[in-house]
A and B are shown apart, each in its own frame.
Chain A
Amino acid sequence: MTPEEQNFMRKIEAEEKIEPKDWMPEAYRKNLIRQISQHAHSEVIGMQPEGNWITRAPSLRRKAVLLSKVQDEAGHGLYLYSAAETLGISRSEMIEQLQSGKAKYSSIFNYPTLTWADVAAIGWLVDGAAIVNQVSLQRTSYGPYSRGMIRICKEESFHQRQGYEAMLALAKGSPEQKAMAQDALNRFYWPALMMFGPHDSESAHSQKSMEWKIKRETNDDLRQKFIDQTVKQIEVLGLEHPDKNLKWNEERGHYDSSDLDWDEFWSVINGNGHCNRQRIEHHIAAHDEGEWVRDAIAAYNEKKRAKKAQNAA
Chain B
Amino acid sequence: MTKPTEKLELFEVFVRSKRGLDHKHVGSLHAEDHEQALEYARDCYTRRSEGVSLWVVKSSDICASQEDDADCFYDPNDDKPYRHATYYVLPDPVNNM
Interface positions of A (Cβ within 8 A of B): 11, 16-17, 19, 61, 64-65, 68, 72, 128, 143, 146-147, 157-158, 160-162, 164-165, 168, 229, 232-233, 235-236
- Contact partner of B82 among A11, A16, A65, CB < 8 A? A65
Enumerate chain B residues within 8 angstroms of A65, measured Cβ to Cβ. Answer: 82
Flag whether B94 is at the interface (Cβ < 8 A). yes
Whether the pair A165, B88 counts as a contact (CB closer than 8 A) is: yes
Whether the pair A161, B88 counts as a contact (CB closer than 8 A) is: yes
- Contact partner of B19 among A17, A72, A158, CB < 8 A? A17
A147: nearest residue on chain B (CB-CB)?
B22
List, sorted by A's number, 21 A–B pairs whose CB atoms are closer than 8 Å: A11-B19, A17-B19, A17-B20, A19-B19, A64-B80, A68-B80, A68-B82, A146-B20, A147-B22, A157-B85, A158-B83, A158-B85, A160-B97, A161-B90, A161-B97, A165-B88, A229-B97, A232-B93, A233-B94, A235-B93, A236-B93
The CB with the most chain A CB atoms within 10 A, among B85, B91, B97, is that of: B97
In Å, the complex CA distance between A11 and B19 comes to 10
Size range of the interface on B? 10 to 19
In Å, the complex CA distance between A162 and B81 comes to 12
Whether the pair A158, B93 counts as a contact (CB closer than 8 A) is: no
Given contacts A16-B19, A128-B97, A143-B20, contact A165 B90 (CB under 8 A): yes
Shortest distance between the CB of A23 and any CB in chain B (Å): 14
Whether the pair B53, A19 counts as a contact (CB closer than 8 A) is: yes
Whether the pair A61, B82 counts as a contact (CB closer than 8 A) is: yes
In Å, the complex CA distance between A143 and B84 comes to 26
Closest 9 CB pairs of A and B: A17-B20, A157-B85, A161-B88, A16-B19, A158-B85, A17-B19, A165-B88, A65-B82, A236-B94
Shortest distance between the CB of B83 and any CB in chain A (Å): 5
Known: A143-B20, A168-B91. 18 other contacts (CB 8 A): A19-B19, A68-B80, A68-B83, A72-B83, A128-B97, A147-B20, A158-B82, A158-B83, A158-B85, A161-B88, A162-B88, A164-B94, A164-B97, A165-B90, A168-B90, A233-B94, A236-B91, A236-B94
Whether the pair B90, A164 counts as a contact (CB closer than 8 A) is: yes
Flag whether B74 is at the interface (Cβ < 8 A). no
Interface secondary structure of B, over-half rule: loop
Enumerate chain B residues within 8 angstroms of A11, measured Cβ to Cβ. Answer: 19
Enumerate chain A residues within 8 angstroms of B90, measured Cβ to Cβ. Answer: 161, 164-165, 168
In Å, the complex CA distance between A16 and B93 comes to 37
In Å, the complex CA distance between A159 and B94 comes to 15
Whether the pair A161, B85 counts as a contact (CB closer than 8 A) is: yes
Question: Which residues B8-39 have CB closer than 8 A to chain A?
Answer: 19-20, 22
Whether the pair A162, B93 counts as a contact (CB closer than 8 A) is: no
In Å, the complex CA distance between A19 and B52 comes to 12
Whether the pair A158, B22 counts as a contact (CB closer than 8 A) is: no
Enumerate chain B residues within 8 angstroms of A235, measured Cβ to Cβ. Answer: 93
Enumerate chain A residues within 8 angstroms of B88, measured Cβ to Cβ. Answer: 158, 161-162, 164-165
In Å, the complex CA distance between A162 and B97 comes to 11
Enumerate chain B residues within 8 angstroms of A168, measured Cβ to Cβ. Answer: 90-91
Enumerate chain B residues within 8 angstroms of A164, measured Cβ to Cβ. Answer: 88, 90, 94, 97
In Å, the complex CA distance between A68 and B89 comes to 18
Whether the pair A158, B94 counts as a contact (CB closer than 8 A) is: no
Enumerate chain B residues within 8 angstroms of A64, measured Cβ to Cβ. Answer: 80, 82
In Å, the complex CA distance between A11 and B91 comes to 44
